[in-house]
């Protein structure tokens, strides 16, 4: 199945065109993914039922399975452990600040090949690169939670598991996706 978070807007347009859908449908779906951050095609209320059913049958709205979600005692930090489809585990962290900003620290690899001696991930060794969709979806996951609480993700840092530049192509694609055109960016700043 196609993970919709693995597709650029152009690729989504191509997919829907191959289903005989007009180009504006891709923009509608994109908006449901990144602006509304829905996790179920049935919530895409301006799409025809037949298209929602096909999306449900042939695509996935993300692949991250939360294994544990832990909150710090003061509630400012949330640490999530996700299982990927092949069983690999990755960690993502959301940090809230007193001035109302929220920063998501997301992973770009399962494990890491750099072997920094001070780092637990480095001692685990390298498992694999994450896809652009797997990187993007971590930010979407936190942004969805914040949005449901009337808040907004302000920053994304690529300082979770992995060395982003070792997974250059997928990381760059994810950054482009997170800075998507038409003002649908999830967060105002991305850094490493």
Q: Which residues bind ligand SF4 (CB under 6 A)?
A: 112, 114-116, 119, 121-122, 161-163
Report the residue closest to ligand SF4, judged by CB: 122
Q: Smaller CB distance to ligand SF4: residue 151 or 166?
A: 166
Q: Smaller CB distance to ligand SF4: residue 3 or 107?
A: 107
Alpha helices in 149-183 (DSSP H): 168-178
Whose CA is closest to 83, among 138, 153, 12, 160?
A: 138
Could you tell me the smallest distance in angstroms from the CB atom of residue 114 to ligand SF4? 4
Could you tell me the smallest distance in angstroms from the CB atom of residue 122 to ligand SF4? 3
Whose CA is closest to 153, among 182, 183, 108, 190?
A: 190
Instruction: List Cβ neighbours of 20 (8 Å cut-off, separation of 6 or more).
Output: none
Q: Smaller CB distance to ligand SF4: residue 13 or 109?
A: 109
Could you tell me the smallest distance in angstroms from the CB atom of residue 121 to ligand SF4? 4
Instruction: List Cβ neighbours of 18 (8 Å cut-off, separation of 6 or more).
Output: none
Q: Smaller CB distance to ligand SF4: residue 131 or 167?
A: 167
Q: At what angle do helices 132-148 and 168-178 cross, to 10 degrees?
A: 30
Could you tell me the smallest distance in angstroms from the CB atom of residue 123 to ligand SF4? 8
């Amino acid at each position: 199945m196609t993970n919709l978070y693995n597709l650029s807007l152009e690729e989504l347009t191509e997919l829907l065109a191959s289903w005989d859908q007009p180009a504006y449908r891709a923009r509608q779906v994109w908006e449901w993914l990144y602006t509304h951050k829905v996790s179920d095609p049935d919530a895409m209320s301006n799409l025809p039922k037949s298209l929602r059913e096909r999306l449900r049958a042939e695509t996935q709205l993300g692949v991250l399975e939360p294994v544990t979600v832990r909150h710090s005692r003061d509630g400012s930090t949330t640490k999530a452990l996700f299982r990927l489809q092949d069983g690999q585990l990755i960690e993502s962290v959301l940090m809230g600040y007193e001035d109302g900003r929220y920063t998501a620290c997301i992973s770009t690899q399962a494990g890491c090949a750099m072997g920094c001696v001070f780092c637990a991930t480095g001692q685990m060794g390298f498992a694999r690169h994450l896809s652009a969709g797997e990187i993007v979806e971590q930010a979407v996951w936190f942004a969805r939670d914040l949005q449901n609480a009337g808040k907004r993700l302000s920053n994304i840092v690529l300082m979770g598991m992995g060395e982003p530049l070792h997974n250059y192509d997928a990381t760059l694609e994810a950054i482009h996706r997170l800075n998507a055109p038409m003002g649908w960016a999830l967060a105002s700043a991305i850094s490493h």
